[in-house]
Amino acid sequence: MHAPTMKHLGDVIPLPASVRPDPAADFRVPADVSVSGAAAAAAVADELADLLREVTGFPVPRAAGGAIRLEVDDVPDEARSPESYRLAITADGVTLGAPTEQGLFAGLQTLRQLLPLKGEAVLPGGHIEDAPRFAYRGTMLDLARHFFQPADIRSYIDTIAQFKINHLHLHLTDDQGWRLEIEGWPRLTEVSGGEGTGIDGAGPGFLTAQEYADLVAYAATRHITVVPEIDLPGHVNAAQVAYPELTCDGEPVQPRTDPEVGYSSLCAGKEETYAFVEDVIRTVAALTPGPYLHIGGDEALSTTAEDYRTFMTRVLPMPGRYGKRAIGWHEMAAVDLPATAIPQYWRIEPADDGVARAAAAGHQVIMSPADRSYLDMKYDESTPLGLDWAGLVSVERSYDWEPADRLPGVGEQSLLGVEAPLWSETLRSLADVEFMVFPRLLAIAEIGWTPRAARDWSSFRDRLARFGPRFEAQGINYHRSPEIDWS
Ligand code: TNX
């Protein structure tokens, strides 16, 4: 048995919106503890009972009238976020309440961090009232440059859910590989998901339609929405290797395993292009229950401005025809966007990309500035993995920026949220992914969740320092950045 370790009520990442400790009301979890919850709370109640069993070794049955109660509001308050929750810890027990199961799940992540890893559990007394600042808090994994197996993606999903990340953007296609099976276009994955694909030809790999659907369903159990990306009209060499008719002259092109960008383009003037793109978008939409479909649009450096406009004007409405909202990298804001389309802003220096114009017209924006949120940038000069074209991104730089001040004309009201992309040119394994993501994703998670006025680097730094043992217990290959006094 470990000695009891008492947490402070606010010792949580992301920091909750309101924390009122009551040191006279600590709750010592008793050996006969049980967890109660009505039908709407059953899934989270089961998880909480499993967690308590693992920590304490007590039997922890699910039973009415237990010391730990989960409640879903009968009449949810429409003004509250579905992810909001309230947590009351008193000397007699714990009550976790929320308008939806999603909110209970968010509260469960808070409770998990307040519990010790193992042994006698004393929960700090007091009240938490919590709700997210932004509805969209995401991260992106690039499966095209290097493929990651479904089991690794599941493990990644489990880890990010603990920090209330609620969207996982999968970059499924690029010049070096095509990683999602598309019915009717078998060569996309047979050829461009096969041997020798990816950066350095590192290997085969793609998701079958069934594997993708299973992953999406798994993510949903962690209250994470998958956002699939098919990158168009650039970043398409792998598609053109598989189907040469997708080039303008119909000539075969060579597979590419180098990290160059900006050399490939679909042919804006060819009808075959749109038949292909619509087939792919229809198929991906049908496999994806979530509301979004990402169509890329970035770095189309070998598409003329006129062709880009022609292409995007035809393709941007397609997700809408299959019930999805289009997301695209901010370059797409050069075009008149359908009302529901969402630009994802990645630029370092503000420039007139049309994003502010889109925001003024009522579009929501996702903030992903490369110099702050790109998880593939090196932490410092000595980082063995990653790139540095957007600069070095220390943990402090990941934390100490403000999405609503980033781009003039794109303030709080225009933001759907924040996302931290991870491009995989230099990453070959889940361990590599974890090294780049943790701890920086926790900074982005707090920016996305915690009220702006409550955020503070030194507080974050102190709370993060206590995460070392938790990462280690979970076998996460996090980077022990020297900026943090790890415990
Ligand atoms: C830029 S920024 C890209 C990717 C690369 C990444 C490497 C953006 C939308 N695209 O194609 O993988 O840099 O950091």
Question: What is the DSSP secondary-structure string of 190-221?
Answer: HHHTSTT-SGGG-----B-HHHHHHHHHHHHH
Model pTM above 0.90:
yes
Confidence band (pLDDT; 50, 70, 90) for 453?
Answer: very high
Within-domain flag for 13: no
Q: How far apart are CA 25 and CA 166, in angstroms?
A: 32
- With a Cβ cut-off of 6 Å, ligand 1 is lined by 261, 298-299, 329, 346, 370, 374, 376, 387, 423, 425
User: For the chain, how many structural domains are there in total?
Assistant: 2
In this predicted structure, what is the pLDDT of residue 1?
38
Q: Summarize pLDDT for 283-298 with one digit per residue, the tens.
A: 999 999 999 999 999 9
pLDDT at 4: 46
The answer as to whether 470 is a domain residue is: no
Ligand 1 atom closest to residue 344's alpha carbon, by position in its atom list: 9
How confident is the model over 434-439, as a mean pLDDT? 98
Residues 55 and 143 in one domain: no
- Going by alpha carbons, the residue nearest to atom 9 of ligand 1 is 298
Indicate whether 203 belongs to any domain. Answer: yes
Determine, yes or no, domain membership for 1: no
Whether 480 is in a domain gets the answer: no
Domain presence at residue 471: no
Q: Answer yes or no: do 53 and 144 share one domain.
A: no
Give the model confidence (pLDDT) of 250-306 as tens digits. 999 999 999 999 999 999 999 999 999 999 999 999 999 999 999 999 999 999 999
- Catalytic residue chosen out of the listed positions 47, 190, 299, 396: 299
188, 93: one domain? no
Strand-strand pairing, 342-345 and 365-367: parallel
β-pair partners for 174: 177
pLDDT band of 3, cuts 50, 70, 90: very low
Contact 96, 69 (CB under 8 A): yes
Residues 100-150: pLDDT tens digits? 999 999 999 999 999 999 999 999 999 999 999 999 999 999 999 999 999
Checking if the pLDDT of 2 tops 60, the result is: no
Q: Which residue, 84, 107, 130, sits at the end of a domain?
A: 130
Query: Are 140 and 125 in the same domain?
Result: no
- 15-60 per-position pLDDT tens digit: 999 999 999 999 999 999 999 998 899 999 999 999 999 999 999 9
For the CA of 377, the nearest atom of ligand 1: 14
* 245 and 276 both lie in a single domain: yes
- Look up the ipTM and state it: 0.97
Please compute the mean of the pLDDT values over residues 323-331 and round it to a whole number. Answer: 98
Mutating to test ligand 1, I would choose from 237, 423, 425, 436 the residue with most ligand atoms within 8 A of its C-beta, which is 423
Tokens of 46: 């089961």
* 423 C-alpha to ligand 1 centroid (Å): 7
> Average of pLDDT values for 476-483?
98
Segment 354-366 shows an average pLDDT of 97
User: What average pLDDT does the segment 333-342 reach?
Assistant: 96
pLDDT of residue 221: 98
Domain shared by 448 and 341, yes or no? yes
Please report whether residue 180 resides in a domain.
yes
311 and 420 in a single domain? The answer is yes
Residue carrying structure tokens 């509001």: 73
438 with 313, same domain: the answer is: yes
147 with 246, same domain: the answer is yes
CATH code assigned at 69:
3.30.379.10
Give DSSP secondary structure letters for 418-441.
EEEEE--TT--SHHHHHHHHTTHH
Are 52 and 152 members of one domain?
Answer: no
What pLDDT is recorded for position 251?
96
Q: Which of 257, 261, 294, 383 to mutate to test the pocket of ligand 1 (most atoms within 8 A of CB)?
A: 261
Place of tokens 């929320």: 98
In a domain, 193, yes or no: yes
- Whether residues 177 and 271 share a domain: the answer is yes
Q: What's the pLDDT score for residue 5? A: 59
Confidence of residue 6 (pLDDT cuts 50, 70, 90): confident
88 or 38, higher pLDDT: 88
Q: Which atom of ligand 1 sits closest to the CA of residue 425?
A: 12
CA of 173 to the centre of ligand 1 (A): 13
Radius of gyration for the chain, computed over Cα atoms and rounded to the nearest angstrom: 23
Catalytic site includes residue 54: no
If one residue of 298, 389, 425 were mutated to test the ligand 1 pocket, choosing by the most ligand atoms within 8 A of its CB, it would be: 298
Q: For residue 344, report the phi and psi dihedrals to the nearest 5 degrees.
A: -110, 115
Q: Give the residue, by CA position, lying nearest to ligand 1 atom 12.
A: 423
Tokens of 375: 């998880």
Q: What is the pLDDT of residues 191-229, one digit of tens each?
A: 999 999 999 988 899 999 999 999 999 999 999 999 999
Nearest C-alpha neighbor of 131 from the set 419, 449, 403? 449
Look up the domain containing 107 and give its range. Answer: 18-130
What's the CA gap between 398 and 367, in Å, rounded?
Answer: 13
Position 130, amino acid: D
| Domain edge (last residue) among 130, 165, 183 | 130
Examine the fold and report which residue of 102, 130, 158 is the final residue of a domain before the chain moves on.
Answer: 130
CATH number, residue 202:
3.20.20.80
187 by Cβ neighbours in 10 Å (0-12 / 13-18 / 19+) ranks as middle
Instruction: Note whether 190 and 289 are same-domain residues.
Output: yes
